[in-house]
Amino acid sequence: MNAQKIRKRYLDYFKKQGHAVIPRALMVPYNEPSVLFTGSGMQPLIPYLLGEKHPEGTRLVDSQTCLRAQDIDDVGDNRHTTFFEMLGNWSLGDYFKADQLPWFWEFLTSEVGLDPNKLFVTCCSGFPEYGVPKDTESAEIWVRLFKEKGIDAKQVEIGSEENGYKVGDQGGRIFFYDEKNWWSRNGAPKDVKIGEPCGPDSEVFYLFDHIKHNPDFGEKCHPNCDCGRYMEIGNSVFMEYLRSDSGFEKLPARNVDFGAGLERIAAAAIDSDDMFRISLLWPIIQKLEQLSGKSYESHTESMRVISDHLRAATFLAVDGVVPSNKEQGYVMRRLMRRAILKAFDLGIEQNFMEGIVPVIADLYHNDYPEVANNRDKVVEVLMKEEKVFKQTLRKGRKVLRDAYEKGYWIKTAEESDTGNQKTGRFRPAKQPILGSLIFMLQDTYGFPLELTLEEIALNAWEEDLNWKQEFESSVREQRERSQTAAKGMFKGGLGGHTLQHKKYHTATHLMYQALRDVLGDHVVQNGSNITEERLRFDFSHPQKVTPEELSKVEEIVNREIAKDLRVTWAEYPTKVAREEKGALGQFGDRYGDTVKVYSMKDPKSPEDERPFSFEICGGPHVDHTLELFEDGKKFKIIKEEASSAGIRRIKAVLQ
């Protein structure tokens, strides 16, 4: 059964079990500035898992397109891609383990037709010190399900990572791990904050028994061993506890969050440990074989990277992202450029987006109307970036040649700036090509280091070994400058929901309104980005904001925080929110039929008075604004600058 069919069967099967099929969320989270991409099916549903009412009810199912930029270094292996689809189903205080596990099992074994003998499961071994018992409830369900297929499911204790997982898989079927099978927003039980839900999870693995265990990964093999024998295909998180001051208490309304990799299930369905052989990836590989005249067997890694990265870039373009030097656009650019460079390895020097993007679009054409509808635009966006990058490469080569011709040369290891100590040769006319120049080529021109080295070799310029140090320190400096900021953003998970993020998010709303109060209603949000250290906000305004105006904005924000505004939200039909109630939104944002609107209002003001801030947003926020002043902090604008034509950028902190 191919991947497209598996997706359809999945949605149909859970629909039959009373689930509402909800559309995928966009790959760029809607008004959620703390993460760059949607990285799981759960991510867009967090507010509902934390207790908000979902308009479609208590049973939801979808297939979510995900991007995990953080997995980029794993791409090239047989089972990771940055882009993948996650099949998800959720119970919002509705069914629990006794329904969910048998459904997943039936879907895998009857609908997809996987051989139950190749399936293995893991459960949570519990944390007695926190009063969290072993999840025997899930294990017993699994024992029964295996038994129905004539399989005697032996249970094995694996325990913690610290013990080195000394117990192996011999004869086992159900394995108990501790932290591996535990979920909370912040990880291990000791890190769960008071008031947060958490619980055990149960995972299903597929065994490739033709793969022999590799002892480099540990003495004995087990489902979470990284040797490749087992592949995780899906997991069910059971949110059944709430952390209270006295420990972990059972939640009255328990949720289920289930997520499985569509591509992984499709690989298991054809019993291939190489995920790239499935129907949503293999046609891309075949096209690459055709374009390059090389075989997948001889260029496996490059072809995997190219097919993944271009599939990701295609979907990003469908969702409106264009390559640029910041945020989502930056990641898209990086993915595309990496793919183009990898294509050079295959000998594909010609432009190939026009040939390959339609192949990718065809794979999704029937199931995602937005792919069909945006096809031409998407091909165009990718072709344009290809052209820009090729120009960049030409420019970079020229800069390098010019530098060489102007009298820069590349010093050898023995030579100092004043001459070669050993030979006495002295070349004062030539100066070394500096590491910082090479860095500049990469950083500003996007001309990659590999190509600089290639160019040096190609022209038989002497290669300097000393420049590397300078180059590396430039890279480090640059990283410290901009990448720390991006670090949290690549996580794509729940990392963005710390208290600090919430505070800055709330401060952003207040500042948006204050800017409109001071500058006028032409001020519209154009972008927002939050890190643990600061907020950043882009908005339309034709000229520089004066220092007087900035201090007025600061004053207003601090004044409103001091009133201890109450932060609440309500759901409205989008039209009502925007047109009747005048909720603020983001420039050019696409919204669904209903939206959440956050209000920040003085608790002492009359009930019918307009809240200070009223803005469409997915959350999360603090509950009341005085939280922003904790530890004697105040709101302060630290920078105002141009972001692009007609767009200003402000950075502000709580300090």
**At closest approach, how far in Å is the CB of 113 from ligand ATP?**
18
Q: Name the burial class of residue 438, with classes exposed (0-12), middle (13-18) and buried (19+) by CB atoms within 10 angstroms of its CB.
A: buried
Nearer to ligand ATP, 266 or 437 (CB): 266
3-state secondary structure (DSSP) of residue 181: helix
Count of C-beta atoms within a 10 Å radius of residue 145:
20
Strands 247-261, 230-244: pairing is antiparallel
Q: Which is nearer to ligand ATP, 201 or 538 (CB)?
A: 201
Q: Which amino acid, one-letter code, is at 313?
A: A
Buried b (16+ CB within 10 A) or exposed e, 173-210: bbbbbbbbbbbbbbeebeebeeebbbbbbbbbbbbbee
CB of 213 to ligand ATP, least distance (A): 17
Burial label for 522, CB within 10 Å (0-12, 13-18, 19+), is exposed
Min separation Cβ 9 and ligand ATP, Å = 17
Chain positions contacting ligand ATP, by CB under 6 A: 40, 68, 71, 80-81, 84, 86, 232-235, 259-261, 263-264
Question: Are 175 and 122 in contact, with CB atoms under 8 Å apart?
Answer: yes
> Which residue, 268 or 514, has its beta carbon nearer to ligand ATP?
268
Q: Which one, 71 or 178, has the nearer CB to ligand ATP? A: 71
By C-beta, is 262 or 451 nearer to ligand ATP? 262
Write out the two tokens for 415.
């030579």
What are the Cα distances from residue 366, in Å, to 6, 363, 460?
14, 8, 52
Of 316 and 433, CB closest to ligand ATP: 316
Comparing every residue's Cβ against ligand ATP, the nearest one is: 261
Query: For residues 82 and 599, which CB has a smaller minimum distance to ligand ATP in the complex?
Result: 82
Residue 468, both tokens: 């590397």
Q: What is the C-alpha to C-alpha distance for residues 155 and 168, in angstroms, rounded to an integer?
A: 12
What is the rounded CA–CA span in Å between residue 333 and residue 344? Answer: 17
Distances (CA, A) of 491 to 130, 322, 372: 28, 21, 30
State the minimum distance, in angstroms, from the CB of residue 605 to ligand ATP: 44
Smallest separation (angstroms) from ligand ATP to the CB of 532: 22
Q: How far is the CB of 85 from ligand ATP (least distance, A)?
A: 8
CB of 40 to ligand ATP, least distance (A): 6
Residue 49 vs 438, nearer CB to ligand ATP: 49
Q: Which residues contact 222 (CB under 8 A, 6 or more apart)?
A: 156, 158, 165, 167, 168, 169, 172, 175, 230
CB of 530 to ligand ATP, least distance (A): 23
